[in-house]
Chains A and B, each alone.
Chain A
């Protein structure tokens, strides 16, 4: 690095004007630097006083949260403009219509709003009746099918071997052996409809079967026909043997 002396030597060598040295021509008062700090402080104090004067007077008011909401409000305004521009391109007529909703609500409604409704006990979804018709038709058809098939089997299987097998599996003799004689006697005495009245049957049949009366009521031709058929029957039997 070049020193001050080197620079002066260089200058002396090149020019005569500058050979007297490089004292600056500017003048500064003698006490300037002594008073500098106190003067500066006075200026600063003066600025502070000025600041106090320019502060908003209490008469000026602004809404609460004005500055905290300012950015939101500006953004909202920008968005509104965007929506307006969009609408101008698509349906310009709608831009002229007020966006105020014409419906009214009582002023106190929102002040007095409370959740007074009782919550429902369950959150079960209400299934709609006609949402999927094909599903209902399919369900109805399958139920009808199940009923028809079970009905068919119920009807035809009553006389089938399955039922017979179930009866066959009952050990009647074993069961009867377990019942005492007294019990059986009591049962038979108290259930008259189970006994067979042979007297009545034989009596009726005897009344109907009176050979003399029967023969009198049959004509000769019928008798001949009977004898003829009976005779052929005997012959056939003989032939067969």
Chain B
């Protein structure tokens, strides 16, 4: 049965249907959130860990969710914050071990079983890793998820104009990378 977000939230607030409503929320959003995270952190294991964390946070915070924003936007925001925190920690670890954090992500891409450096799809992924994290997020949300700037603005809490400029810069950088590598 297809339930909309409001119905799911109402069911979640009822103690008798809380768990089944939460399971339905997971089913509804797991795939979109998985790919949103995976495109940022590359490794499946890291993505799985983070997806678990995201839903644990959702479980803890959903009761107090004020519905100022859509459930979808709120979930994306949690997942995005998880991604940024994870990448920040990864960068610090890389600094301690004298490695480059972004190179680490590129290496993860190259280590993927299906990696083929000659294919444009993989080249595109390598090019995306050269972007700063927030620009990478903006590019992924717009290019792959076709997300309108208005919604993106709510998730990333940035003005639409700034997001548009960021996306254009990112697209140009990626094009330059692909044409020169």
What is A's interface to B at a CB cutoff of 8 Å? 65, 76, 79-80, 83, 87, 90-94, 96-105, 109-110, 113, 115-117, 119, 123, 128, 130
B92 within 8 A of A: yes
Q: Which residue of B lies closest to A118 (CB)?
A: B56
Chain A nearest CB: distance from B120 CB in Å?
Answer: 5
What is B's interface to A at a CB cutoff of 8 Å? 2, 26, 30-31, 34-35, 38-39, 42, 44, 49, 51-53, 55-56, 59-60, 92, 112-115, 119-122, 124-125, 142-144, 146, 148, 167-168, 171-172, 174-175, 178-179
- For B31, what are the chain A residues with a Cβ–Cβ distance below 8 Å? 110
Q: How many A-B residue pairs have CB under 8 A?
A: 86
17 new A-B contacts at CB < 8 Å, known A103-B38, A103-B125: A65-B2, A79-B148, A83-B146, A91-B175, A93-B175, A93-B179, A97-B120, A99-B143, A101-B121, A102-B114, A102-B119, A102-B122, A103-B44, A104-B114, A105-B38, A113-B30, A119-B59
A100 and B174 form a contact (CB under 8 A): no
Chain B nearest CB: distance from A63 CB in Å?
Answer: 13
Q: Which residue of A lies closest to B23 (CB)?
A: A114
Question: 30 pairs across A/B with beta carbons < 8 Å?
Answer: A79-B146, A87-B143, A87-B171, A90-B167, A92-B175, A93-B175, A93-B178, A94-B175, A97-B120, A97-B124, A98-B120, A98-B121, A99-B143, A101-B38, A101-B39, A102-B115, A102-B121, A103-B38, A103-B42, A103-B44, A104-B114, A105-B34, A105-B38, A113-B26, A115-B56, A115-B59, A116-B52, A117-B53, A119-B56, A128-B92
- Distance in angstroms between the alpha carbons of A93 and B113 in the assembled complex: 27
Q: Which of A90, A96, A103, A116 has the most CB of B within 10 A?
A: A103
Chain A nearest CB: distance from B43 CB in Å?
Answer: 9
Q: Which residue of B lies closest to A98 (CB)?
A: B121
Chain B nearest CB: distance from A65 CB in Å?
Answer: 7
B34 and A101 form a contact (CB under 8 A): no
- Distance in angstroms between the alpha carbons of A29 and B39 in the assembled complex: 81
B172 and A91 form a contact (CB under 8 A): yes
B42 and A83 form a contact (CB under 8 A): no
- For A116, what are the chain B residues with a Cβ–Cβ distance below 8 Å? 52
- For B26, what are the chain A residues with a Cβ–Cβ distance below 8 Å? 113, 115
- For B167, what are the chain A residues with a Cβ–Cβ distance below 8 Å? 90
Q: Which residue of A lies closest to B179 (CB)?
A: A93
With A90-B168, A115-B55, A117-B49: A101-B175 Cβ-Cβ less than 8 Å = no
- Distance in angstroms between the alpha carbons of A90 and B171 in the assembled complex: 7
- For A109, what are the chain B residues with a Cβ–Cβ distance below 8 Å? 34
- Distance in angstroms between the alpha carbons of A177 and B96 in the assembled complex: 70
B35 and A101 form a contact (CB under 8 A): yes
Among B34, B55, B174, contact of A91 (Cβ-Cβ < 8 Å):
B174
Chain A nearest CB: distance from B60 CB in Å?
Answer: 7
Q: Which residue of A lies closest to B38 (CB)?
A: A103
With A79-B146, A91-B171: A117-B56 Cβ-Cβ less than 8 Å = yes
B174 and A94 form a contact (CB under 8 A): yes
Chain A nearest CB: distance from B174 CB in Å?
Answer: 6
Chain A nearest CB: distance from B42 CB in Å?
Answer: 7
Chain B nearest CB: distance from A59 CB in Å?
Answer: 26
